[in-house]
Amino acid sequence: MTETLPLARWWREPLWAKGVLAAILAGSALLMTWNLARGGDFAFYEAAARSMSESWRALLFGAFDPAGTVTLDKLAGFAVPQALAIHLLGMSTSAVALPQVIEGLVTVMACAVVGLRAGGTGAGLVAALAAASTPIFVSMFGHPMEDGLLTMALAVALVWWQRAVLTARWWPLVMAAVFVGVGFQAKMMSAWFVLPALFVGTAIAAPTLRRGLARAGVLVGASVAASIVWITAIALTPSGARPFIDGSTDDDVFAMVFGYNGLDRFAPGSVPGSVGAPTGGGITEGLTALGRAFGSHAGAAADAGSSPMKLLEMPLVTQIGWLYPAALLGLALALWRFWPRRGREHDRARWALAVVAGLWLATSAVVLSATKVPHTAYVAALGVPLVLLTAMAWSEGCRLLRSPRRAERLVLPVLLVGQGAWWSVLSREGDLPLVLAVASCLVLVAGVVLGAIGAWSPRTRPALARVLPAALALALLCAPVAASLQVLDANRDGSGGDAYVGIPARSDHPDESFAISAPAFWGGTPAISPAVAQLVATARADGGGAGGAPLLVSDTWAISAQIIDATGSSVLTDGGYSGHVPVFTASALRTMERSGSVHLFAVASGASPSDPVREVATGPGCHEVKEWKLDGHGEGGEVNKVSGVTLYSCEATT
């Protein structure tokens, strides 16, 4: 079957267009890598990436520790690129973050491709620049976070879906489903935010409803299949041949994915075998049950969780909301212009794309508005549809500049005025540095003036024809570009725990002035506190890790994550992320102790008497080696905070 419509491709575009696209990609890479060596991941996940880099077993099953005894509390697809980078480049902060930079560049390129096919060269460049300057993207893709692979996968899925619509072929539809499945491996059911939109868009893009529903059914079915194929393979693997499944009490991967990370957050206990909400000093109030359904650790966004209007409020709106007015206008203009007409296949494809972008945006907004948002990168779910709708607004606005009706010619200049009013609010609320605010204001004013001149007097428009579209595009995107430039200041770049551009309201930085930091493109070493470093040295002096044996057994990842992350040593850990996962029983640990395979046990302060590690460590044949008080911040961040740890040594018995 031949293609029913030609596909635009960037390598066929004029040299100037390819040069501009290359400059956008280079600028995007520069922003994402400026502080690459400074921002590591949340310790729990960075340790898992290092473990997966050292052991094929750990990589295969997404294990937390090099020995592969327990998995992460979620699917570990997002950590696979990180593990491969560590394996190839060695352990460093930059190596862990580099895959996300690549994912970011792919996302920008995917938006450029979709924009090119839908609206031409200019729309593709506007989409690329909008993606490259979305603040949450700039910070998120510069840090190791699961949201990076998720965003990239769904953007690429949209590229394949658009190809399927334009060519009426089936195989691109299957490729779109595969990438939805990749997104599922990155952040589970968050990848399914796009499925309602793709189903409707596929159904309405076909010449007949029957064919459309058939294609839509195949897309959704294949997406679900691609999503669950890996967890099905894990479930079919005998329990003795794989790690224990974190997030479950009975070693069930489906309970972890759809219970602990899914339905149990809406209706606790609905999925047997999943770990319930942790109790007693583990999770902060901001980390609500549903928040854990889609993510990991709390950040600046946690305080906004209680408001259903959070996407219009600080701290989230300055990370994603700069283009809200343009996106809404773009959706309205595209739906109005491309309403499908008989015999106009390309109009139907553009209309379907507008519907997909609108529904994807609406679905993500509704879910995020109805739930608490533990960290800011969640709002990246809005990014791709916002970018594409903004490109549509620019494309349709430029087309209307050629209209014989003055009111239509003024659409884009009026949009810029509205955007300016909206930006003034965001700049004030987000404390945008004065130099950046003034620069963006000047660009906006110039764009409004040129747009008004070109729209008001038809006689002057031919002289402006070459520069006006570019000027309007820069004016449309100048404020998010300015906001994103804040990442050049290391204090405004966010972190692997919470991607955030600017100074959060709860900032601990006494000096909030904007200053460009020296670049840190490569390097960085994982952090380990002095007390934990002393614990490692003492354990090694006591024979821990000899002959390839585990260094020690810990009852909390808050200790073992630092050790694995900084040293790569094998540390066995009980409790999982929540502290309530029965990875080891006291009987199994005693067997290991008696056989001599492990003889050192690190017990966190305040451990329960029923803690298997504590029970064995304080039993016959064991003695206390040393106790350490940890620093005032505690280990484990806001989750499983530990204030002290005691090392016990046990003698092997026959």
Q: What is the pLDDT of residues 503-514, one digit of tens each?
A: 876 555 555 789
Confidence at residue 277, expressed as pLDDT on a 0 to 100 scale: 42
Do 319 and 384 fall into the same domain?
yes
Confidence at residue 227, expressed as pLDDT on a 0 to 100 scale: 97
| 411-431 tens-digit pLDDT | 999 999 999 999 999 999 899
Confidence at residue 634, expressed as pLDDT on a 0 to 100 scale: 41
Confidence at residue 347, expressed as pLDDT on a 0 to 100 scale: 78
Report the 3 state secondary structure along 509-562.
CCCCCCCCCCCCCCCCCCCCCHHHHHHHHHHHHCCCCHHHCCCEEECCHHHHHH
- 546 occurs within a structural domain: yes
- 498 occurs within a structural domain: no
Domain boundary (449, 484, 519) is at: 484
| 533-554 tens-digit pLDDT | 999 999 999 999 888 899 999 9
Do 569 and 627 fall into the same domain?
yes
Residue 460 has pLDDT above 80, yes or no: no
Confidence at residue 287, expressed as pLDDT on a 0 to 100 scale: 30
Residue 457 has pLDDT above 80, yes or no: no
When divided into structural domains, the chain yields a total of 2
Q: What whole-number percentage of the chain has pLDDT above 70? A: 88
Q: How confident is the model at residue 517 (pLDDT cuts 50, 70, 90)?
A: very high
Confidence at residue 439, expressed as pLDDT on a 0 to 100 scale: 94
Domain boundary (484, 499, 515) is at: 484
Confidence at residue 298, expressed as pLDDT on a 0 to 100 scale: 55
Confidence at residue 123, expressed as pLDDT on a 0 to 100 scale: 95
- Contact between 501 and 486 under an 8 Å Cβ cutoff? The reply is yes
Do 112 and 170 fall into the same domain?
yes
Do 477 and 537 fall into the same domain?
no
- 503 occurs within a structural domain: no
Do 431 and 569 fall into the same domain?
no
CA distances from 59 to 55, 86, 558 (A): 6, 12, 21
Do 218 and 335 fall into the same domain?
yes
- 415 occurs within a structural domain: yes
Residue 280 has pLDDT above 50, yes or no: no
Mean pLDDT of the chain: 87
The alpha carbons of the chain give a radius of gyration, in whole angstroms, of 26
Do 18 and 127 fall into the same domain?
yes
Q: 186 or 402: whose pLDDT is higher?
A: 186
Do 221 and 326 fall into the same domain?
yes
Do 110 and 190 fall into the same domain?
yes
- Contact between 220 and 198 under an 8 Å Cβ cutoff? The reply is yes
| 100-129 tens-digit pLDDT | 999 999 999 999 999 999 999 999 999 999
- 565 occurs within a structural domain: yes
| 336-378 tens-digit pLDDT | 887 765 446 667 889 999 999 999 999 999 999 988 777 899 9
Of the ranges 239-248, 343-352, 461-470, the best mean pLDDT one = 239-248
Do 467 and 359 fall into the same domain?
yes
CA distances from 381 to 226, 252, 320, 444, 470 (A): 20, 28, 10, 27, 28
The range of the structural domain enclosing residue 614 comes to: 530-650
- 86 occurs within a structural domain: no
Closest CA to 52 of 94, 103, 88, 98: 88
Do 446 and 559 fall into the same domain?
no
Tokens 């693997």: give the residue. 237
Q: Is the four-CA dihedral 154, 156, 158, 160 of positive or negative sign?
A: negative
- 173 occurs within a structural domain: yes
Among 93-102, 258-267, 493-502, the least confident range: 258-267
- 46 occurs within a structural domain: no
575 dihedral zone (left: phi>0; alpha: psi -120 to 50; beta): left
Q: Give the integer Cα–Cα distance in Å for 480 and 485.
A: 9
Confidence at residue 344, expressed as pLDDT on a 0 to 100 scale: 61
CATH of the domain at 574: 3.40.190
Q: What whole-number percentage of the chain has pLDDT above 90? A: 67
Do 221 and 351 fall into the same domain?
yes
Q: How confident is the model at residue 290 (pLDDT cuts 50, 70, 90)?
A: very low
CA distances from 583 to 133, 300, 379 (A): 44, 32, 34
Q: Give the integer Cα–Cα distance in Å for 93 and 70.
A: 24
Q: 643 or 617: whose pLDDT is higher?
A: 617
Confidence at residue 50, expressed as pLDDT on a 0 to 100 scale: 95
Please state, as a whole number, how many other Cβ atoms lie within 10 Å of the Cβ of residue 434. Answer: 11
Q: 639 or 603: whose pLDDT is higher?
A: 603
